[in-house]
Structures are given as structure tokens and as C-alpha cells.
Amino acid sequence: MRYLLEAFVARQWTQQDVNRAAAFFSTHMAPTYSDFPFPKDLMSTVVQQNNALQATFLSSWRLYLKARVFMHTVQCFRYPTTVATLSRRAKDRIEAAFERSVEGGVGSPLLGSRLHDFGFRGCTCVEQSVLGGVAHLLNFDGSDTLSAAYYAQFYLNDGEPVAMSIPASEHSVMTAWRTEREAMENMIEHFGSGILACVMDSYDYVQALAELLPAVAQKQVGKGGFLILRPDSGDPVEAVLLALEAAEKVFGVEVNSLGYKVPKSCGVIQGDGINIQTLDKILQAVMAQGFSAQAVAFGMGGGLLQRLNRDTMSFATKLSHIVYADGIEADIMKLPKSDPLKFSLPGVMAVKMVGGVPTAFPAEGGHVTPEENMLHVVWDHGPVQVEWEKFTRLRQQVDRQWHALPKTADVLSQPLKDKVEAVTARLRQPPES
């Protein structure tokens, strides 16, 4: 929300913007149709009287166009919300595996690095990578989407880092060397004293595990760091298990107090074909083979930032209350007879915690006090004074609240359900003749 407000809603309009908009809308309609009713004079007044900022608190039908623009801007919130939820659902699976097979369970410091954002290269633009990448960082601290990590650090967290990554080879690097061994030894020479990742399937994955890995093992052990093997093709479950078996053979394993094997100074990251379903299958297969879930991490690219849309979580933004030019107010809602499940909620609303669940109420009727209301004004004819949470505190808050919430809940209060019934009855009355 903060990014969209600061980058778009708070953007200053000039008279040139108004003139261009008028020219655009006068030519946008199909031939023989009248011009789009763009209120140029009104918009010029808005620019001159509102410090060149968009007036978005709407009180007249004449600002209908601005209402539509603002509604579509609000609709953009669905993308980072969906990414954050997808990332969090993945974390649920990883946490369950950690509780079962990792010493310390969800308290393990390794948990935050188990799902790495690989999604930048598939994004339609840098802006998408920022919105989606920052949403993922609410749950994990691993990211190669540097645009998001930079924005979160310097714009949302007072310059304090919120994400991290490691040196990692990719296919162009590996194939640029005369031999795969030279490429891997170069990686170890420069980064072997820390954590590094090496892609292993540039030519023959099975052969690389069987011959290349043992050939460079002593050099890596001598450096004293931690090597992460990265398969990037084939069946994801099989590829991970092959890497873990090779790691056990080459480096050995320790058995933790829960009875699961942990490879010594070596692990695996699977970044190909990852979604929630394949992630869960890999975790279950890893533990079934006696390995701890800490031995594997995941990279998610398209599955995290691209393979989702507005329908993934059924997002929609609808008008719910209007004040007409004559001063009459009305609660309104969408109520399609052909699909009653697509109804929208009527009226001005407030939200408060009920039994630990955020629950929506009608704003009127005294159901929610101002102190209880979880909805806060962040824009009213222009910027308002908002004390934004630092990103690190927001991340902690998300984690705490997520664990406290039930998996499913009814978030509509009875008073709001009563209002839905009342407005539905009003709308279904036959029109006056």
C-alpha cells in the first residue's frame, strides 16, 4: 500500500497531465460514439487547488472518473497481498517439516532462509519485482530480487538490511569455462570459505554428482565453508534426493537428536519447478529418506511472483456507499442474480478483533469504537500523517498474528450480515411503475 500511495496516488499532477488526459479521452472512444466525459475544467481546478495532488476523497458524481482511477489503484494491492499469502502458505509447510525433523523446530535460525526469491527475471517490470519481492520478504529473508531488497531496506526499514543472498553460479558461468571442474574450483577458490551454491546440471547432473563432486570435495573441505548443490532440471523430487545421497557419500552425515540425517557442510537448493505442491512433496520425500528438512532449501521464481492473478484469491474492489448530489446517502452493493456468490458488501465498514479474528462490521451503530477500528486513513484529499511500521517490526507482527489466527474463520459480523440481507431485500424490490 505504501509503495502505491507514494509512487502513484501522491504523484503531482500538472496542467500538462490534464491536457494530455483530455486529448487522450477525446480520441479513445470508437468512431460515431461521443467523447469520454473527462471533466477537464474540474481536473484543472483540482490541480490548482490541491497542491497538484490527486483529490481522492470523493463526494460528487462529477469525480466518478477519479473514483474509478482510485479503485483500480486500490485493486493493485491484490498482487503483493497474494504473493505474501502464497509465500506464507509455503512457510507453513516448511515450518511443519522443521518441527518434525530439525532441532529447535520453528525456532531454528535456518528457517528464514528456506524459501529464496528467484523471481526477478520473470517479472514484467522492475516495479512488479519490488511489489512482489517485498511481499515475500514479510515471511523470509532470502532473495535474489535485489530491487525489492533495496527498496525494503532503504525506504521501509531506515537503511537496516532485511534480506540476504549468497554467491551462486548459474549455467552461463559454468559453461563459459573449458571444463565444469574448472568452473566449480574457481567458485570454491573465491567463495569456498563461506556459503556458496553451485548449479550441477549444465551437462550431466548424475555424472556431476558421481564424479565432479568427489573431485572437488577436498578443496571445498579445506576452505571450511558450506557448499549448496543446485539441480535445475529433471524431476524435482528425484533431483533433490540424488543430491542428498551424493552429499552423504562424499561429505558424510550427522544424525540429529530427532533421528534425521544432516549432511556435513553441504546442502541442496531446488529452484526449478517449485510451487507449494512440489515443495511439500520434496519435504515429505526428504524426510522419508531419513534426511532433516534443514538439508534442503527452495528457490521459487515464476511460482512466487508470476503464476498468480486476481482470481487466485478472488480479489475485487466495489463501491459500497454513495452520497448523491442532493445529499441522500445510500448503501449499495453488487448482487448478480446469475451468480449470487459474487455479491459485494454494502456500506461504510469498520474492522475489529473478535475472538482473535479481524471481523468486519458496519461503521455505524456503535459496534466498533475508533480505538478498536483496525482500518486507518492513509490518504484524504492528500497525504495524512501516518506512522508507518518499520519493516522488521511489521515482519514480526505478521508472523505473530499469522500463528495466532485460526486456519479458517467467518470474518463477517452478524450486524454486517443483517445489513447485507436488508440491502438485498431493497434491491430486489420490483421497480416502481
143 is written with which cell numbers?
Answer: 532473495
List alpha helices for 137-212, DSSP H. Answer: 146-155, 171-176, 180-191, 205-207
> What are the residues facing 267 on neighbouring strands?
228
Percent of the chain with pLDDT over 70: 91
Please report the beta strands in 206-364, taking only residues with DSSP state E, as ranges in sequence order. Answer: 226-230, 253-255, 261-263, 266-270, 296-300, 321-323, 329-331, 349-354, 357-362
Work out the average pLDDT over 300-318.
Answer: 92
Kindly tell me if the per-residue pLDDT of 9 is higher than 80: no
Quick check: 67 pLDDT over 90?
no
With cut-offs at 50, 70 and 90, classify the pLDDT of residue 64.
very low
Distance of CA 350 to the CA centre of its chain: 25
Q: Count CB atoms within 10 A of the CB of residue 262.
A: 21
Q: Which one has a higher pLDDT value, 14 or 51?
A: 14
93-111: string of b/e by CB count within 10 Å (b at 16+)?
bbbbbbeebbeeeeebebb
Q: Give the pLDDT score at 56.
A: 38
- Residue 235 scores a pLDDT above 60: yes
Question: Quick check: 66 pLDDT over 60?
Answer: no
Looking at residue 396, its pLDDT comes to 96
Residue 30: what pLDDT?
64
Q: What is the mean pLDDT of residues 389-417?
A: 95
Average pLDDT of every residue of the chain: 90
Task: Read off the pLDDT of each residue in 263-279 and give the average, rounded to a whole number.
Answer: 97
Banded pLDDT at 74 (limits 50, 70, 90): low
Q: Is the per-residue pLDDT at 386 higher than 90?
A: no
pTM across the whole model: 0.87
In which band, very low, low, confident or very high, does the pLDDT at 59 lie, cut at 50, 70 and 90? very low
The three grid cell numbers given for residue 285, joined into one nine-digit string: 520425500
Question: Which of 36-40, 78-82, 343-347, 361-365 bottoms out in mean pLDDT, i.e. has the lowest?
Answer: 36-40
> Which of the four pLDDT bands, split at 50, 70 and 90, describes residue 433?
low
Mean per-residue pLDDT for 150-170?
95
Report the alpha-carbon distance of residue 259 to residue 278 in Å, rounded: 24
Alpha helices (H) in 192-318, listed in sequence order: 205-207, 213-223, 236-251, 276-288, 302-305
pLDDT in tens, 110-132: 999 999 999 999 999 999 999 99
Q: Which segment of 88-92, 139-143, 424-428 scores lowest on mean pLDDT?
A: 424-428
Other C-beta atoms within 10 Å of 12: how many? 11
Q: Alpha-carbon distance 220 to 189, whole Å?
A: 8
Task: Give the residue-averaged pLDDT of 155-175.
Answer: 95
Residue 162 exposure: Cα atoms within 13 Å on the Cβ side: 30
Residue 61 clears pLDDT 60, i.e. is over it: no
Reported for 383-387, long-range contacts at CB under 8 A and 24+ positions apart, including other chains, are: 383/5, 383/10, 383/53
Cell of 86: 502464497
